[in-house]
Amino acid sequence: MAKEELTLNQLAKEIYEGAGGMDNVQSVVHCMTRVRMSVRDDEKVDQAKLKAIPGVLGVVDDEQLQVIIGPGKVNKVAKEMVDIAGVGLGEELPHSSGKDKVNAKAAEMKAAQKAKQKNSPFKALLKDISNIFVPMIPAFVGSGLIAGIAAVLTNLVTAGTLDAGTWQQFIDVMNIMKNGMFSYLVIFTGVNAAQVFGANPTLGGVIGAVVTLTGMNPEAPLTNLFTGDPLAAGQGGILGVIFAVWLLSIVEKKLHQIVPDAVDIIITPMLSLLVIGLLEIFLIMPLAGFISNGMVGGINWVLAVGGAFSGFVLGALFLPMVMFGLHQILTPIHIQMINETGKTMLLPILAMAGAGQVGAAFALWIKLRKDKELTEMIKGALPVGILGIGEPLIYGVTLPLGRPFITACIGGGIGGAVIGAVGGVGAIAIGPSGAALIPLIANGRWWGYVLGLLAAYVGGFVATYFFGIPKDKLAEQKLAEETVVEPTMTTVEPTTTAHATEVFSAVAKGAVHPLEEAADPVFAEKMMGEGYFIEPTDGAIYAPVRGKVSTIFPTKHAIGITTESGMEVLLHMGINTVELDGKPFDIMVNEGQTVTADTEVAKVDLDAIKAAGKGTSMMVLITNMNEIATHVLEKTGPVLASEEVFKATTK
């Protein structure tokens, strides 16, 4: 079959057959030039059959089975392969084929879009917070559902609907299970934060446990340095623990550098815990206590104002208080209100904060429905969120995205304003919020509470839908929804200017080598085309030729340049560096930008590449060799960056 007659679908299917069948392929990814497959049984791979496929330039069987297709086509072939299998790029293939999956395009484009996003300290912080809490989501969901059921039963018992003698033991058992998660959340947070920041996980757990103040003498409690009042367990909250563990990671790493190896295992943990523990007890927790006292005054003032304004302020600000562990200071206020009036007017308003999160989550689900990872998390967190357990939605969904957290708080404020305007809506006991609080609403005013819930749902939804979706997520969604018309292999090749000569230069200071000496057989055997490579001595990488940047691969390790004469040039930075996920590379140019030999296109961390066990060779290849008449490597050995080394002429 002629090469021109193969469609992408046919090419993908033949690659599967040569790899031993789709059932033998475990996963499919691609780099700038190759489809990379993890196979289950190497003996089933027929390399001769793969090499004979029209459109395949070569095959390498290393840690992965690599089928060389070439830039511009490889991403289309890889996408066709995962579409056939019904998975996303990098996901494990099932042992059967034909499963439809609309998310394949979103997965591919998401990676490309993320590679273009500029990092910022704030985005890095949100990413770290997400990495800390996402592993806890299953426990949040499981414990939250149990807590929600226990809360509903408790409220029904309190309201007299259920008999306490019959149901209390069931409630106690469920509370024991629930408390296994929520009572020790600071410890789990400390462990996960340590893993994210590079500290010892057990030490992180201990730092998290410090805020519980276990072991403090109640007869002589530690005092708040700012106010002189006794410290309260939990001051500092979750974010206080995260900050303390971040400091722990810095101190621990520094001590590992200076403490002698013979005593490092003894001295470093002790000093780390001592330094950070003291800071946590005498600075971080007191600072949170100082903030909490100010917030109590603010709450009292807001309550005095009353009405819809009070409801909005309290409903909007409650979640930030929860994150700092400051919500505990409201418990005495609730109890005092119940003792004096038989109900707390504050709790139903504060419950709206979680309802705003629910509305925001629905908006994210609808607006970003192509984001499988996000929608799956929302589906798991929504049931417990409706029951009043907000941690999964806060830490797993809205807070890591940033803007949705703010719009969710606005939704909570809207619900609080409705309850404040209705007036007289109070709870006869304190407990969870959300739908679980309905049986505890006093004097038949449950309808006012439900009205507030609905307003918070709608408010959080509308605010998030129109104002709370992050721009980068919207861009990913737009890319995922675009209809892609796949070309066949009969696509007309770009034309070149006849008899045009292009001068190529060294892309870095170092040594020029002929392509035959490359460590990677794909390049050494010239499967991708002719060229040369540089072994660099520093990480400043320049364009090899004058032209326009046509492609920047998402993992940043490869850049495509098209010259004015039509030569397609590939700058491939390192050997197998696609596996490094872009970390050693800082790209200095954009797609569509015109570059010359004096244009610095990237900064590369050569030490990081070497530490990962990868080669640092900077490969320069002409990939459309069918348009090239002559080529010559004019210089080998030591060179300076931008020094002329190679020439090629079109037909």
The number of residues making up the chain comes to 651
What sign has the CA pseudo-torsion 159, 160, 161, 165?
Answer: positive
Q: Is residue 640 part of a domain?
A: yes
Q: How far apart are CA 315 and CA 300, in angstroms?
A: 14
Instruction: Please check the confidence at residue 365 and state whether its pLDDT lies above 60.
Output: yes
Q: Is residue 552 part of a domain?
A: yes
Instruction: Please check the confidence at residue 357 and state whether its pLDDT lies above 50.
Output: yes
Q: How far apart are CA 550 and CA 75, in angstroms?
A: 14
pLDDT (average), residues 467-482: 70
Q: Is residue 280 part of a domain?
A: yes
394 and 520 share one domain: no
74 and 32 share one domain: yes
Q: Is residue 512 part of a domain?
A: yes
Identify the domain boundary among 47, 65, 93.
93
Instruction: Please check the confidence at residue 354 and state whether its pLDDT lies above 50.
Output: yes
> pLDDT tens for residues 508-566?
999 999 999 988 888 888 888 899 999 999 999 999 999 999 888 888 899 999 999 99
| pLDDT score, position 101 | 36
The three state secondary structure string of 372-406 is HHHHHHHHHHHHHHHCCCCHHHHHHHHHHHCHHHH
Whether the Cβ atoms of residue 408 and residue 396 lie closer than 8 Å to each other: no
Instruction: Please check the confidence at residue 208 and state whether its pLDDT lies above 60.
Output: yes
Q: Residue 598 corresponds to which tokens in the numbers above?
A: 């004096």
Residue 191: domain span: 184-295
Task: Give the orientation angle of helix 403-422 with respect to helix 307-323, to 10 degrees.
Answer: 140
Q: Is residue 494 part of a domain?
A: no
Catalytic residue among 19, 31, 53, 67: 31
> pLDDT tens for residues 482-497?
544 344 333 444 567 8
| pLDDT score, position 228 | 78
- 379: closest CA among 389, 399, 393? 393
108 and 238 share one domain: no
Q: How far apart are CA 482 and CA 179, in angstroms?
A: 46
| Known active-site residue 31 | yes
What are the phi and psi torsion angles at 492 (to 5°)?
-70, 130
DSSP state, 464?
I
> pLDDT tens for residues 181-206?
777 888 988 998 898 888 999 999 99
Instruction: Please check the confidence at residue 153 and state whether its pLDDT lies above 80.
Output: yes
| pLDDT score, position 569 | 93
Annotate 276-312 with DSSP letters as a single string: HHHHIIIIIHHHHHHHHHHHHHHHHHHHHH-HHHHHH
CATH number of the CATH domain containing 85: 3.30.1360.60
What's the pLDDT band for 299 if we cut at 50, 70, 90? low
The three state secondary structure string of 147-203 is HHHHHHHHHHHHCCCCCHHHHHHHHHHHHHHHHHHHCCHHHHHHHHHHHHHCCCHHH
| pLDDT score, position 137 | 62
> pLDDT tens for residues 69-105?
877 688 888 888 988 887 888 888 876 433 333 333 3
200 and 157 share one domain: no
> pLDDT tens for residues 220-248?
888 877 777 788 787 766 778 888 999 99
Structurally, the chain folds into a number of domains equal to 4
- 471: closest CA among 588, 367, 356, 319? 367
> pLDDT tens for residues 637-650?
999 999 999 999 99
Instruction: Please check the confidence at residue 409 and state whether its pLDDT lies above 50.
Output: yes
Neighbours of 6 (CB within 10 A): 20
Average pLDDT of the residues of the chain: 81
If phi > 0 it is left, if psi is from -120 to 50 it is alpha, else beta; for residue 592 that is left
Lowest mean pLDDT among 55-64, 351-360, 507-516: 55-64
| pLDDT score, position 117 | 46
Whether the Cβ atoms of residue 505 and residue 19 lie closer than 8 Å to each other: no
337 and 403 share one domain: yes
548 and 506 share one domain: yes
153 and 242 share one domain: no
220 and 194 share one domain: yes
589 and 452 share one domain: no
CATH number of the CATH domain containing 609: 2.70.70.10
Q: Is residue 495 part of a domain?
A: no
436 and 471 share one domain: yes
Q: Is residue 358 part of a domain?
A: yes
- 207: closest CA among 138, 134, 293, 273? 273
80 and 143 share one domain: no
Identify the domain boundary among 483, 514, 540.
483
Q: Is residue 488 part of a domain?
A: no
> pLDDT tens for residues 432-444?
678 878 877 877 7
pLDDT (average), residues 497-507: 91
> pLDDT tens for residues 121-143?
655 665 676 677 667 767 765 67
Q: What percent of the chain has pLDDT over 70?
A: 82
Identify the domain boundary among 268, 295, 322.
295
396 and 286 share one domain: no
